[in-house]
């Protein structure tokens, strides 16, 4: 039996905010006050403050045909946390603003907030404010995250130096392949009532697309080992784009090795099914939210056996450009940015 749906107009904006933020408890000492005043009050007396924001538009960044609202809320928060971890920091607070079209009910927004609040609980982040308004463009989600790090440990994209090792966490291309699975099942469902999607053997790929995780474990692991990366970025637009960002900001070149790019078995199987080049998917797929970072060559022995980290190449002089060395070791392919175009139509 379908649950009763409540029109947002029956509660009004303030009633909706009260309902979806009820029972929020703050976890961070830097949060002095949150929802309920004209502004949140935060205190960061001894650390550098890190701020990042993302906007997600229905039909551009997500498709509610196959994205559950709770998953969407979780992902909306986590991709922002990832930006703070990519600066070697810790996310502390988020502010969430929504543009809501008339087809959404109170229960829909509660589902979205269930995901947001779960992400905050898992990562120890406080939800301290936001805004809601009506939208003519479907659902719009804007999330701003505030975090911090000691001044000596903040890592940008501009610190890589020749001979630094290039490292990546986890595996690449899975989220992109998960998107292909979801799009394939969406196409297959057209005109079929009570359609049952076929995800058997592809569960990992679908989860990487719908419910990614930020790699705070990698940041913690490096911190415990006393390693501060010379540069770092999260992989949201694909390995190619992110590598070029680091090299452009650091004024360097790079060499990575095709055989060292970490790829999961399910990703490889799916690429074969779709007759798609596996390395292209890993290099350009995006939305993996893994960490790409560089460390001094002197850290090689400490990092080579770390769990979940793969050394994939090294930084070179800028004059040598950016290239991938093929499996046979005999040729180089220039690295080009082909990641997600946020302004594309």
DSSP 8-state assignment for residue 7? B
Residues 117 and 111: their CA atoms lie apart, in Å, by 10
CATH 3.90.650.10 in the chain is located at 165-334
Q: What is the pTM of this model?
A: 0.91
Residues 6+ apart with CB under 8 A from 71: 115, 210, 211
Residues 332 and 323: their CA atoms lie apart, in Å, by 6
pLDDT digits (tens, 9 = 90+) for 216-234: 999 999 999 999 999 999 9
Residue 341 has pLDDT above 70, yes or no: no
* Bridge partners (DSSP) listed for residue 254: 315, 322
The fourth-level CATH superfamily of domain 165-334 is: PurM-like C-terminal domain (3.90.650.10)
Q: What is the pLDDT of residue 193?
A: 78
Residue 109 has pLDDT above 70, yes or no: yes
Q: What is the pLDDT of residue 14?
A: 63
8-153: CATH topology: 60s Ribosomal Protein L30; Chain: A; (3.30.1330)
Q: What angle do CA 39, 79, 306 make, to 5 degrees?
A: 125
Residues 6+ apart with CB under 8 A from 232: 86, 87, 88, 155, 156, 157, 291, 292, 293, 294
Average pLDDT value over all residues in the chain: 92
In 235-273 the beta strands, taken as DSSP E runs, fall at 253-257
Written as six digits, the tokens of 289 are 């939210």
Q: What is the pLDDT of residue 71?
A: 97
CATH 3.30.1330.10 in the chain is located at 8-153
Tell whether the torsion through CA atoms of 104, 204, 256 and 218 is positive or negative. Answer: positive
Residues 229 and 6: their CA atoms lie apart, in Å, by 50
CB 142 within 8 A of CB 264: no
CB 70 within 8 A of CB 113: no
pLDDT digits (tens, 9 = 90+) for 279-308: 999 999 999 999 999 999 999 999 999 999
């Amino acid at each position: 039996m379908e649950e009763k749906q409540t029109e947002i107009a029956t509660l009004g904006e303030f009633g909706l905010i009260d309902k979806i933020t009820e029972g929020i408890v703050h976890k961070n000492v830097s949060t002095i006050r949150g929802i309920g005043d004209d502004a949140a009050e935060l205190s960061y007396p001894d650390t550098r403050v890190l701020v990042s924001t993302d906007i997600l538009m229905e039909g551009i960044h997500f498709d509610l045909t196959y994205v559950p609202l709770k998953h969407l809320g979780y992902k909306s928060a986590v991709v922002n946390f990832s930006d703070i971890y990519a600066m070697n920091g810790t996310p502390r607070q988020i502010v969430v603003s929504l543009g809501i079209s008339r087809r959404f009910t109170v229960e829909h927004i509660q589902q979205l907030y269930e995901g947001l609040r779960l992400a905050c609980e898992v990562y120890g982040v406080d939800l301290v404010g936001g805004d809601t308004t009506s939208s003519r463009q479907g659902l719009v989600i804007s999330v701003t995250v505030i975090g911090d790090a000691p001044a000596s440990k903040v890592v940008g994209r501009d610190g890589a130096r020749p001979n630094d090792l290039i490292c990546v966490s986890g595996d690449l291309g899975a989220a992109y392949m998960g998107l292909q699975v979801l799009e394939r099942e969406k196409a297959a469902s057209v005109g079929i009532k009570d359609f049952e999607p076929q995800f058997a053997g592809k569960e990992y790929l679908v989860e990487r697309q719908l419910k990614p995780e930020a790699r705070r474990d990698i940041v913690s692991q490096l911190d415990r080992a006393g390693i501060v990366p010379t540069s770092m970025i999260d992989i949201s637009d694909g390995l190619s784009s992110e590598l070029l960002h680091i090299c452009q900001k650091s004024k360097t070149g790079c060499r990575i090795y095709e055989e060292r790019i970490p790829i999961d078995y399910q990703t490889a199987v799916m690429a074969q099914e779709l007759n798609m080049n596996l390395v292209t998917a890993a290099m350009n797929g995006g939305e993996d939210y893994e960490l790409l970072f560089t460390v001094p060559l002197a850290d090689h022995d400490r990092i080579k056996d770390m769990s979940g980290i793969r050394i994939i190449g090294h930084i070179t002089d800028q004059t040598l450009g950016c290239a991938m060395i093929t499996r046979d070791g005999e040729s180089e392919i220039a690295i080009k940015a082909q990641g997600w175009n946020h302004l594309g139509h």
